[in-house]
Amino acid sequence: MASLMKKIGFYKETKHQHLIETLVPVPKPEGNDLLVEVSAVSINPVDVKIRQTKQSEKLTVLGFDSVGYVVDKGHTVTNFQVGDRVYYAGTTQRDGSHQQYQLVDARVVAKAPTNITNEEAAALPLTSLTAYELLFEKFCLIPEKNANKGKEILVINGGGGVGSILTQLAAWSGLKVAATASPKNFWWLKKNGVDVPVDYHQPLKPQLEKMRMEQIAYIAVLYDVAPYLEEIKEIVQPLGHIGMIVHTEQPIPLSEFKNRSISFDWEYMFTKTDAGVHEESQGAILRFIADLIEKKQLHSHLTKVYSEGITAASLERAMMEVGSGKGLGKLVVSGGVSRDNT
């Protein structure tokens, strides 16, 4: 392994915050760290959001999904070996996966599913963690096959990255699943476990009632909740749950939901690593997801690959596409980060 490696990121003072490539020393893992050679990364809306808002004098290295191979490990790591293929979402507290070698806490890492490609594996971590935590930790549903039969869920923005894996997990666990998308994308919803596709251009409640979905106690809002709040108020059942993952532009009038005892649940995948609590649960969740993938009870929601290598140029193109908000599933950039590719 060479003594220098490539990082890709941006500085506050960089014109238009264009990504740049720079060479730095390869770090040495300590304690519970793994040093992973990055093979493929998935682009998420959070990458685009941080790119638009971060103001730092230091180089900011993004990337919150990765698959790669362990090349070194800290002295306290016992559950991984050099050569293991692993996948993870990382943390906002350290440099991300847009680099040749990445240090990552072993507690948030799992061995990648053995029956899928690097690209398919790289698409999974952040969205799978978000979906699992919302369904099974916040909504307190049971993470077992068919354990939630008789219960119903509505997923708003079912065709996006989180929606495409959340609907699969919900269907696997026994829920009857409704999800919104444009009619041209209903095929994608059905591929990912949705029983009742719903056209988000039209009023939601009549469509749900037509399909006999009138006992919806769980609503996962994977978009700003404000445009849907009045409709949700008429749909969610007493004692129900509304889960959100996106920043709201307007205050939410919670008191209007009081007399029906509706719970509001925020899900932010980085809370555990930001706050230093229950980090090990994320490695466990990724092991759980890998097991379901290997048993072919879930599938990767990868839809597009840029395979020319992980470079400033390929990441720029990928972020521009993800930032448009028009894609289905997940976009991955693969081919590794070479010191020589430009």
pLDDT at 17: 65
Q: How many angstroms separate the CA atoms of 140 and 127, rounded?
A: 18
Average pLDDT over residues 142-158: 98
pLDDT band of residue 336 (cuts 50, 70, 90) is very high
96 Cβ neighbours under 8 A, 6+ residues apart: 47, 61, 62, 63, 64, 90, 102
Better pLDDT: 333 or 326: 333
What is the model's pLDDT at position 135?
98
Per-residue pLDDT, 271 = 98
Average pLDDT, the chain: 94
Structure tokens of 103? 């240090």
Which whole number is the average pLDDT over 158-163?
96
Fold of 2-124+272-332: Quinone Oxidoreductase; Chain A, domain 1 (3.90.180)
Map tokens 């040749």 to a residue. 100
Per-residue pLDDT at 110: 98
pTM over 0.85: yes
CA–CA distance from 261 to each of 45, 114, 220, 225 (Å)? 32, 44, 17, 18
133-267: what CATH class? alpha beta
- Give the residue extent of every domain in the chain: 2-124+272-332, 133-267
pLDDT digits over 14-63, tens only?
555 689 999 999 999 999 999 999 999 999 999 988 888 877 778 999 99
pLDDT for the residue 18: 83
pLDDT of residue 342: 41
Q: Of 42-46, 62-66, 128-132, 322-326, which gets the smallest average pLDDT?
A: 322-326
Half-sphere exposure of 126 (CA within 13 A, CB side): 31
List, for residues 228-276, the tens digit of each pLDDT value: 999 999 999 999 999 999 988 888 888 999 999 999 999 999 999 999 9
On the question of pLDDT at 149 being above 70, the answer is: yes
